[in-house]
Amino acid sequence: MNKEIERKFLVKGDFKEFAEKSYKIAQGFLSTQPERTVRIRIRDHQGFITVKGISNVAGTTRFEWEKEILLSEAENLLQLCEPTIIEKTRYIIPSDRDLFFEVDEFDGKNKGLVVAEIELPSEGTNFNKPNWLGEEVTGQIKYYNSMIAKNPFSKW
């Protein structure tokens, strides 16, 4: 079973100067049930389908399975997704020991929200926290992309 271990933070400062690369993402959800979230994503010109399971109590670890699909399939599946389609720019920022932050700057109904995630090899992995990293929101359901799609940041 594939497991994703990540921590999530709000962003409080300028981070873009540290980015190695960035790309546009559009994503929607076929299912937002916590036990089986099913996401469709277009990243640049690639399509993906992802299934995620429910998080552990700390919100750091959950099952994740992802497969690349044809761009045309992803475009068609986005039409079947629950409201709202999330639009964001993702910035990749290196950290220490082959780790990196993925910083999502949201657009559309979620404009103004900026969230950073770091995937870790284990729950106890230590990492350097840059000064632009703000409050930790790991496990706070309102910051899950599936919840942001249902309840956009503009309505908070």
- Distance between CA 59 and CA 47 in Å, rounded? 26
**Owner of token pair 């729950």:** 123
Q: What's the Cα-to-Cα distance from 52 to each of 11, 15, 16, 39, 156, rounded to whole Å?
A: 24, 28, 29, 8, 25
pLDDT digits (tens, 9 = 90+) for 120-134: 999 999 999 999 999
pLDDT digits (tens, 9 = 90+) for 16-51: 999 999 999 999 999 999 899 999 999 999 999 999
- Name the pTM for this structure: 0.93
